[in-house]
Amino acid sequence: MSQEFLEIDSKINKILECIELLVPNEFSLSYIAHFTHAKRETIYKYLQRNYIENLDYWLKNGKIFIGREVGLELIRRYRHD
């Protein structure tokens, strides 16, 4: 591999690490609803039909939380640009 490729790979890895620090590991259902202006009920029904409870989303202290990857998918799905 060339030195240029290794430098680019290193920079990409640093960017990915920064992004991981900025994006939380979990999102609350309320946060996603507020951020996307979608109804909580709509998002919750979609979660129930398409994802696995206690794996992709879970109940914690009486609130529904959603894992990073699923949360980002939901934000992309429901956001209104």
- Domain positions in the chain are 24-81
Strands (E), the chain: 26-28, 57-60, 63-67
Chain centroid, CA 38 distance in Å:
16
The closest of 73, 60, 71 to 31, measured between CA atoms, is 71
Q: What is the pLDDT of residues 33-56, one digit of tens each?
A: 999 999 999 999 999 999 999 999
Q: Given this model, what pLDDT does residue 76 score?
A: 95
Q: What is the pLDDT of residues 17-27, one digit of tens each?
A: 998 889 999 99
* pTM for the model: 0.79
Compute CA distances 10 → 6, 60, 70, whole Å: 6, 37, 27
Q: What tokens appear for 30 in the block?
A: 């309320």
